[in-house]
Amino acid sequence: MGFLGFLNNRLGGVSVSFTRRGGLEDAVMMRDVLSGDADGREVLVRGWLQNKRSSGGIIFLLVRDGSGVLQCTVRKGQVQDSVFDAFLSAKTESTVELEGTVRPDARAPGGREILADSGKVEYPALEEFPIAKKFHGPEFLLDQRHLFVRADKMRAVLKVRAAILFGARSWFDGHGYMEVQVPILTSAAVEGGSTLFEVKYFDEKAYLTQSWQLYAEALIASVGRVYTVAPSFRAERSRTRRHLTEYWHVEAEAPWLELDGLMRVEEEMLSHILDYLVKTCGSELALFERKLEDLARVRPPFPRITYDEALDRIGGEKSGIKWGDDLGYEQEKVLTEHFDRPFFVTGYPKKAKAFYHKPDPSRPDVTLSVDMLAPEGYGEITGGGQRIEEYEALVGRMREEGLDPKSYGWYLDLRKFGSVPHSGFGMGLERLVSWVCKLDHIRDAIAFPRLINRVYP
């Protein structure tokens, strides 16, 4: 890549137009400066002025370019007076460019700084940045989300999300799963009608998908093991710490896979992801006070309990639900106190689960279903199980649930042409991020959350 600034050896210290000799992209990434690779060299950096302090003839700028945050020091006399004055009056979140020599300095955040010999304020911020260091209420910060995404913790969350997806994809790709995409606009419910978003589709009604699952079941007969990373939508009326109306869903489906095998897929994939986070996101996790040991100890096999055991552990009907009801957030929270790592709950009652779950042949009132719950009060992060593969049984379950088999014509066809025992699961990306980053609310696990009362910004 070459440190272009190196060539630009003090062209009179003016705010030279570096673009004349190359593209805007010629600035060095701060991450490369912070790594020490550019020590002693003359470099050009560009970024946003995150913070500034000055005393006498010296200004310390903290400049962020997305790859890192770097201290740039501007001294009176070492740059033109007009440059010094421009930086002195620049408001935070102005865009700036600086050129100077990289030197190690233990007092600088990250251990390095640039001693500037020239630079310019490229787009001065027009107003004071609305987000100050002081406390702001959550609604204010949600209104300012387009600016709040620049905050340290939001940047860390974005990095953790990206690392989780990288880890998930690399596990799936390495285990014979192919990434596929299916429609977001659909004609029928997957997870029950109560959380469907309806959209007008020309003269018809359509819905925003709740899960890719039914299409995935079609694709396993085409390309075998499949996975996706896609948005899912739930018109959740409940205002909780763990519900978004639009969330990102990592889902997988595989032929010739039963419940036990599915749990092995989930636990291996998750521990692979957590390993990757430990290796690549140490400083981000530290911001949230997440200890790396908490993640490193998550190793297969994860603890497994049944729904019946779960209900017992939380005090049976004293827990607020009776046998047959789904575990809600309150019940899961109590249950998670029994574990210090993610664990599985299997065998949910038929009544608590969607129509496609296969009833346990040895006990038909429960299903071959499994949820993975995260500890520390977080609860469910994945949901899935073994599917009904037999045509008549599937039609029967649809009728029991009051669904019209005609609305699921194509899905039923899959049982007519080479049906197969198969299983799959969906993992809520923001649920996992919330646990990993110890977030109080799922809205902070995504850049622009969609909540019951919020579609702006």
Per-residue burial over 391-424, b if 16 or more Cβ lie within 10 Å, else e, is: eeebbebbeeeebeeeebeebeebbeeebebbbb
C-alpha to C-alpha distances, 125 to 49, 155, 253, 355, nearest whole angstrom: 9, 20, 49, 55
- Please say which residue, 26 or 251, places its beta carbon nearer to ligand NSS: 251
**Closest distance to ligand NSS from the beta carbon of 355 (Å):** 11
Amino acid at 21: R
Closest distance to ligand NSS from the beta carbon of 395 (Å): 19
CB of residue 399 to ligand NSS, shortest distance in Å: 20
Half-sphere CA count of 361, side-chain side, radius 13 A: 7
Closer to ligand NSS at the Cβ: 13 or 377? 377
Cis peptide before 457 (omega within 30 of 0): yes
Q: Please give the backbone phi and psi of residue 151, each rounded to the nearest 5 degrees, phi first.
A: -70, 155
Residue with Cβ nearer ligand NSS (97 or 251): 251
What are the beta bridge partners of residue 178? 226
Q: Which is nearer to ligand NSS, 121 or 190 (CB)?
A: 190
- The least CB distance from residue 405 to ligand NSS, in Å, is 19
DSSP string, 77-128: TTB-HHHHHHHHHPPTT-EEEEEEEEEE-TTSGGGEEEEEEEEEEEE--SS-
Instruction: Using CB under 6 A, list all residues that contact ligand NSS.
Output: 190-191, 210-211, 213, 234, 236, 243-244, 247, 249, 251, 380-384, 424-428, 430-431
3 state SS of 271: helix
Please enumerate in sequence order all residues whose Cβ is within 8 A of that of 260, keeping only pairs 6 or more positions apart, or say none. Answer: none
> How far apart are CB 373 and ligand NSS at their closest, in Å?
9
Which residue, 112 or 225, has its beta carbon nearer to ligand NSS? Answer: 225
Least distance CB 246 / ligand NSS (angstroms): 8
Which of 102/252 has CB closer to ligand NSS?
252
Least Cα distance to 310 among 319, 297, 301 occurs for: 319
Residue (31 or 438) nearer to ligand NSS, CB: 438
